[in-house]
């Protein structure tokens, strides 16, 4: 029992160190040796818990998805517009990448590493069923999966694109949001109204709040999947 507790504590310390290093220095520049040195363990002990650096990235992506689920459920239960919830989430995710190159590297790596991209697509296809099924009542699960394959490419493009005098931040956000909602057959008047509303908010401040909460978030992955399935089965949300 004591050995099991020790293993769990070590795993928690590894995840915490990886989170701080990935956010602070970037995923690409962070080595397994750097993580093990930060935790104070051998690289062999590190790979016992997480065989590769990609497995650690996957753990953090799952945390991010779990946090997003919490926010989606909270927003819907409080009667918030589903489109506004979706648009705000995309805006804040994009804004995180604007805060530093290390955060951009972390987010882009999540979309370009096969293991984590599969996780993102799986989660987002389920989330899109929750948020967009009223616009697509005849769609099967496979239709949402196919739409998400295209949506993930649009999201990655937005995360990778650095703003300048030609491509402003607002232009990038408007184009990305409009393109994503088009995929799910949201009528133009609704798309434009939600985009205007979301871009009037303090999305820079909100993205910082999101980042701060992510640094401390410790989700229960079993509850994450269970809660998601429960929400998807409900017809009143």
pLDDT at 142: 95
Q: Which of 11, 33, 51 is the last residue of a domain?
A: 51
Domain match, 142 and 162 both = yes
Mean pLDDT computed over 6-17: 87
> 89 is written with which tokens?
């989430």
Dist. CA 169–CA 167, nearest whole Å: 7
Dist. CA 202–CA 187, nearest whole Å: 25
* Torsion sign, CA atoms 89, 189, 158, 224: positive
Domain match, 4 and 81 both = no
Domain match, 60 and 25 both = no
% of the chain with per-residue pLDDT over 70: 83
**Confidence class of residue 114 from pLDDT cuts 50, 70 and 90?**
very high
Out of 9-13, 70-74, 198-202, which region has the weakest mean confidence (pLDDT)? 70-74
Q: Is the pLDDT of residue 236 over 50?
A: no
Mean pLDDT computed over 177-184: 97
Domain match, 145 and 169 both = yes
% of the chain with per-residue pLDDT over 90: 54
For residue 79, what are the CA distances in angstroms to 17, 74, 101, 181? Answer: 37, 9, 36, 20
Q: Which of 10, 25, 51 is the last residue of a domain?
A: 51
* Boundaries of domain holding 128: 54-233
Domain match, 84 and 47 both = no
Domain match, 12 and 117 both = no
Q: Work out the number of other CB atoms within 10 angstroms of the CB of residue 116.
A: 22
Q: Is the pLDDT of residue 1 over 60?
A: no
Domain match, 173 and 191 both = yes
Domain match, 44 and 58 both = no
Assess contact for 198 and 88: CB atoms under 8 A.
yes
The domain total for the chain is: 2
Domain match, 97 and 171 both = yes
Dist. CA 208–CA 222, nearest whole Å: 27
Rg of the chain's alpha carbons, rounded to an integer?
19
Out of 14-18, 51-55, 71-75, which region has the weakest mean confidence (pLDDT)? 71-75
Q: Is the pLDDT of residue 162 over 80?
A: yes
> 196 is written with which tokens?
């205007």
Domain match, 62 and 40 both = no
Domain match, 119 and 37 both = no
> 9 is written with which tokens?
């504590």
Task: Mention every residue, 6+ apart, whose C-beta is less than 8 A from residue 86.
Answer: 131, 180, 181
* Mean per-residue pLDDT over the chain, rounded: 85
Q: Which of 9, 32, 51 is the last residue of a domain?
A: 51
Domain match, 111 and 6 both = no
**CATH number for position 31:** 1.10.10.60
């Amino acid at each position: 029992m004591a050995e099991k507790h020790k293993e769990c504590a070590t795993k928690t310390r590894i995840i915490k160190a990886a989170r701080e290093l990935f956010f602070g220095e970037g995923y690409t520049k962070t080595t397994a040796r750097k993580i093990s040195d930060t935790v104070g363990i051998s690289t062999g002990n590190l790979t016992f818990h997480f065989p590769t650096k990609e497995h650690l990235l996957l753990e953090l992506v799952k945390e991010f998805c779990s946090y997003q689920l919490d926010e989606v459920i909270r927003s819907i239960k409080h009667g918030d517009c589903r489109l506004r919830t979706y648009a705000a989430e995309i805006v804040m995710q994009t804004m995180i990448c604007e805060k530093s190159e290390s955060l951009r590297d972390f987010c882009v790596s999540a979309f370009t590493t096969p293991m984590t991209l599969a996780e993102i697509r799986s989660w987002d296809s389920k989330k899109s069923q929750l948020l967009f099924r009223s616009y697509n009542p005849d769609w099967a699960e496979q239709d949402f999966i196919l739409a998400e394959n295209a949506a993930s490419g649009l999201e990655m493009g937005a995360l990778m694109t650095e703003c300048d005098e030609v491509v402003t931040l607002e232009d990038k956000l408007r184009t990305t949001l409009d393109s994503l909602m088009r995929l799910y057959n949201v009528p133009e008047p609704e798309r434009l109204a939600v985009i205007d509303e979301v871009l009037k908010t303090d999305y820079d401040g909100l993205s910082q709040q999101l980042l701060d909460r992510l640094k401390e978030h410790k989700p229960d992955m079993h509850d994450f999947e269970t809660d998601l399935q429960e929400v998807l089965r409900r017809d009143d949300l």
